[in-house]
Structure 1
Amino acid sequence: MDKQLTIYFTSDLHSYIYPTDYRSPGERDLGLFKCANRFHKDGSTLVIDGGDLLQGSPLGAYCHDTIGSAAQFGEMMNCCGYDYVTLGNHDFNFGMPYLESYLDALDGCCVCENVRRPDGTSRFPARVRVLENGLRVGLVGIVTDYVNVWERPEHLAGIAVTDPMEAARQALEALRGKTDLTVCVYHGGFERDLASDRVLSATRENIAYRICQELDFDILLTGHQHMSVPGQMVQGTFVVQPLDKGQEFLRVTAVRRNGRWDFSSRTVPAGGSCPDRWLAEFAGMERGAQNWLNQVVGHLPAPMTTDTPVAMAARGNALADLFNTVQLAASGAQISVTSLPNDPAGLPQTVRRQDVLNAYPYANTLTILRITGAVLRQAMERSAEYFTREPDGSLRVSDEFLKPKVEHYNYDYYAGVHYVFDCARPRGSRVVELNVDGRPVADTDTFTACLSSYRASGTGGYECYVGCPVLGEIGTEMSDLLLDFFRVHPEHLPLKPGTFRVL
């Protein structure tokens, strides 16, 4: 007799629950409720999330900053019938007590094998679920160990995030003979392009391809990269990944026929109507969030508008100037480095809290480094790789920053320094002018530089920062520093625009 398992899988919801993007009026086809309304559970169904639930939207900021507990996110997941979740790197952004408030309220089970107690045992070990049809499903969760690179140590108090590969290997071995099917839920992505097999990254941040090569899980549910990966076989393992913010989910089906497994999946876009009972149950939280988000924090003489990514990168923009100005004011550093999200949000003339959180959606804190002129030049050369020229001479974004994942956020803007990129020159030699205080920068010069803790870790191709002396850490999140800056300058922002050209 055939046996079947159906999995509904979301990942990287980033606290987008309601059908709103917190930017435009009206209902949008995104968010948890617009996905979960299409889940159909029975005794052979599992609903699973791949992590990064607690941070990312203005609702997430309101829940942390005002309520101080993530329990309601657990209750939302309960409404939607989640059986298992793993943890994403951003779930650690607010520390373990906040994370535990979510997990304590969750009816489902957390599996995250490589989150370890001080005695070395797993805090969230693998599980075996026996379905009504008798099918034994082994579930192992793991999270990228780049959590250790990005996260503040105090947010990881009482735990250690270990090598996910080794943790998954050990857990899979322990499940031998106890399961009919194994599922790995990995908050991490692919280090190789699945179409061309081209190596995308040599770091350990994403190791999904290696997991398929070295381990024999039947199904690998991935996340973290925010890219849509339809179901396919990779080295004998069936893999998928959904887009972020609840834009879509995966319906994965495994059927046992004649002694072998057949796998299939369907990528389902968010849509339909949200059940009234869900909206009503959390209406108080949503109203509180909207009131909090609508608070006016300042005024601008003119809106800070956005443009195409290549135009903003080549000509500069007021948003990047604002971020760098705030970083310089907070740090006292000579140089500031910042980036914009993939989908930047401008600021209107009347600025509300919601606008600031949309403009800077990350939970980044700041790091002050001592860097040499050589390091600064290396970093700028990496930024200059963002550009390439068409045969007609027009600028466009390099494919390296677009495929397989869009990474506009890995282009950096610099303040406190004058520079010129010549994109007609070979990569690695495009910085043709580099001056500080009107003087050419020598490789042996030293400067203080303020940048996000994410960038200071070397992520995004900026390994040149690794090993630079750390002069200080600013533990206040950048979004809060922006709000404080508006409070001090409610009518006029003393921006320090970047001075650069792209040829």
Structure 2
Amino acid sequence: MTDSNQTVDQAVDRSVTRRTVVGGTAATALAAAGFQAVPAHADAGAHGAGGPAPRTVRLSVMGTTDLHGNVFNWDYFKNAEYDDSAHNDIGLAKISTLVKAVRARIAGERRTPAPLLLDAGDTIQGTPLAYYFAKIEPITGGHLHPMAAAMNEIGYDAAALGNHEFNYGLDILRKFQRQLRFPLLGANAQDWTTGLPVFPPYVLKRVHVPGEKPITVGILGLTNPGIAIWDKANVENKITFGGIVELAKVWVPRVRQAGADVVIVAAHSGMDLSSSYGDALPVPENASALMAETVPGIDAVLVGHAHQEIPERFVTNKATGEQVLLVDPLKWGMRLALIDLDLQKVRGRWKVVGRHSQVLNANTVEADPKVVAVLQKDHDKVVEYVNSKIGTCTEAMSAATAPWEDTAALDFVNFVQADAVAKALAGTPQAALPVLAIAAPFNRAASIPAGDVSVRDVAGLYIFDNTLLAVTMTGAQVKDYLEFSAQYFKQVSGPGPFTPDQVTNAPTPTAPSGTPDYNYDILGGLTKPMAYTIDIAKPVGSRITGLSYDGAPVTADQQFVVAVNNYRQSGGGNFPHVKTAPVLYNRQVEIRQLMIDYVTATGEVNPNTFHTTDWSLTTNGSPVVIST
């Protein structure tokens, strides 16, 4: 497929500068954000022996990634200002203040070219703000997407496609693309039939240098091949996705041939070699460092996808011996990357002779009032939506006792997960296998009231941004998994009564202060009960008794499909088997959103449809009594 507004031929344009700084001087804002001035540095051998050294010009490139629909420093599910344990702030409104400070600082330096601003993808999914304008009031109806409005206001020069750009389908993505005042790049997003790019592969930016010839900067965009799996329903028979390294080898030389003095890659692919999809694709998910090492001609890489903070990393290209600079500015607008490339004329052409990068912290500045003003109405509309009724609940559900007794609240999470997986596997060879699901008591304070239910009520049961996967496990592996999970309980004698702290959150060698609630998993079946007891009088490793499915003992070789979150499947908590189990389903859909969608679609939560008491705590076969 192709888009009539796009062409493989790339336009050459000039950077746009904005010089207004919010909240004080540029120097003050940058110092607070952690900016460190670095003297211009030329690599050894940049100019020949004898004669004066050529003039060094510094080109600065700013970058963001994995914004995931964040404009404001706001947690829509808590209905409060965003905060986390590190006291990070989020959103493009704060990024804009940092961008203006960088631009103002550079504008004050004589004969220094204006900086560029790039993004490395995952822009239009991740918050209720993004969801609302994809599903509730889709931008296909004419509304300007809030992320397009914010990024246009700030003045981005280019952005790469992220995998989450495809979550809402190609119509939403193409509309978003047309709303941007800068190109959305993806050299490895290729037409299913012809193999030609269906988004611009790169753009050339001609940067004015006072008193010198312009610097031509080539910006190449690459997205994640995993889209072919994660959004198969949206892209199959339409778009195919080549490997990061493979397509960089094709396009970097073309960018150079088109006249680029400097080549920067915005890659929605994590730094270090790994894949969440195993061998389901022949190319890796995370390959930015490998690309820098094996593809000649790249000067710097803005890295995305992995949600890591990497202020500066150098990789030596094997073919040229040149150093390639890589930087990853975390996620959600928490950081702004700042790349400084020092250039000199070598035989009449600009050449990078020095490299440096750092990240600036958005929690040190105020939000840009211009960005706030542009998006305030959208924000207010979404706050109202999140707090509005989307359905009803026939009886109250609370997670207060979920760590030590089977509750409807956790059964609801497991039901939604297992139901989504079962529907996705319909028509596949695994459709006949029993489906189980695993969930943890993330938030003891969570509850869904009887009567009207809001988006925030549902979201409270699932406070993390985890996505859903499904793997196959044997009965023996399921039992091992549950035994590992049961180390969450302290060993006791007698039936009690006990207070919760006398039973839960047991210290382990890897959690000496106590196993957190989120590392205790509860398992349930979708259409038939998976029943078991946990005998906490027994030592760790021999606590699971009476493990049965549909009333029959589980056999060691019995096959199950198990719905699990991406944190657990990637090794979080170090649970056995799940990390190496074959993956059947991985569309990178947020579990929390699946729960919201379920309530929105059905209009009702009725615990009688999914809640049964299938597991319990015992001590030497007698029920454990816990009083609160």
Shift of 1:317: 7.3
CA distance 1:382–1:5, change in 2 (3 Å): farther
For residues 104-163 of structure 1, give each alpha carbon's deviation from its aligned partner in whole angstroms, at most 9, with x where no partner exists.
000011121100123111222122222112222221111221111211333455321122
Is it true that 1:231 corresponds to 2:312 in the alignment?
Answer: yes
Is it true that 1:322 corresponds to 2:412 in the alignment?
Answer: yes
Match among 458, 463, 484 for residue 356 of structure 1: 458
CA distance in 2, matches of 1:410, 1:207: 33
CA distance 1:122–1:378, change in 2 (3 Å): farther
Is it true that 1:91 corresponds to 2:165 in the alignment?
Answer: yes
CA distance in 2, matches of 1:410, 1:44: 52
1:179 is matched with which residue?
A: 260
CA distance in 2, matches of 1:219, 1:343: 42
2:121 is matched with which residue?
A: 51
Shift of 1:269: 2.7
Shift of 1:98: 0.6
Is it true that 1:442 corresponds to 2:442 in the alignment?
Answer: no
CA distance 1:168–1:96, change in 2 (3 Å): same
Task: Confirm or deny: 8 A CA contact 1:231 1:239 kept in the other structure.
Answer: yes
Shift of 1:499: 2.7
Shift of 1:378: 4.0
1:101 is matched with which residue?
A: 175
CA distance in 2, matches of 1:9, 1:344: 38
Is it true that 1:336 corresponds to 2:436 in the alignment?
Answer: yes
1:143 is matched with which residue?
A: 223
Shift of 1:100: 0.8
Task: Confirm or deny: 8 A CA contact 1:363 1:479 kept in the other structure.
Answer: no
2:499 is matched with which residue?
A: none
CA distance in 2, matches of 1:46, 1:338: 45
Match among 312, 316, 328 for residue 241 of structure 1: 328
Is it true that 1:121 corresponds to 2:196 in the alignment?
Answer: yes
2:8 is matched with which residue?
A: none
Instruction: Give the percent of matched residue pairs that are identical in Structure 1 and Structure 2.
Output: 20
Unaligned runs of 5+ in 1: 194-198, 400-407, 469-475
CA distance in 2, matches of 1:245, 1:502: 44
CA distance in 2, matches of 1:347, 1:459: 28
CA distance 1:316–1:35, change in 2 (3 Å): farther
2:133 is matched with which residue?
A: 63
Please report the TM-score for the alignment, with normalisation by the length of structure 2. 0.63
Match of 1:171, SS state, is helix
CA distance in 1, matches of 2:188, 2:539: 43
Please report the TM-score for the alignment, with normalisation by the length of structure 1. 0.77
Q: Let me know the Cα RMSD of the aligned residues.
A: 4.4
Number of residue pairs matched?
467
Match among 72, 86, 90 for residue 30 of structure 1: 90
CA distance in 2, matches of 1:89, 1:121: 19
1:472 is matched with which residue?
A: none
For residues 183-205 of structure 1, give each alpha carbon's deviation from its aligned partner in whole angstroms, at most 9, with x where no partner exists.
11111213359xxxxx9997622
The code of the aligned residue for 1:289 comes to: V
The code of the aligned residue for 2:383 comes to: Q
Shift of 1:388: 8.5
For residues 382-415 of structure 1, give each alpha carbon's deviation from its aligned partner in whole angstroms, at most 9, with x where no partner exists.
78778989xx97237689xxxxxxxx79978443
Shift of 1:466: 4.2
CA distance 1:388–1:451, change in 2 (3 Å): closer
Task: Confirm or deny: 8 A CA contact 1:182 1:219 kept in the other structure.
Answer: yes
Is it true that 1:267 corresponds to 2:360 in the alignment?
Answer: yes
For residues 75-115 of structure 1, give each alpha carbon's deviation from its aligned partner in whole angstroms, at most 9, with x where no partner exists.
22101211111111111111111111111000011121100
Match among 143, 160, 163 for residue 243 of structure 2: 163
2:474 is matched with which residue?
A: 375
Q: Which moved more, 1:84-93 or 1:334-343?
A: 334-343
CA distance in 1, matches of 2:180, 2:344: 35
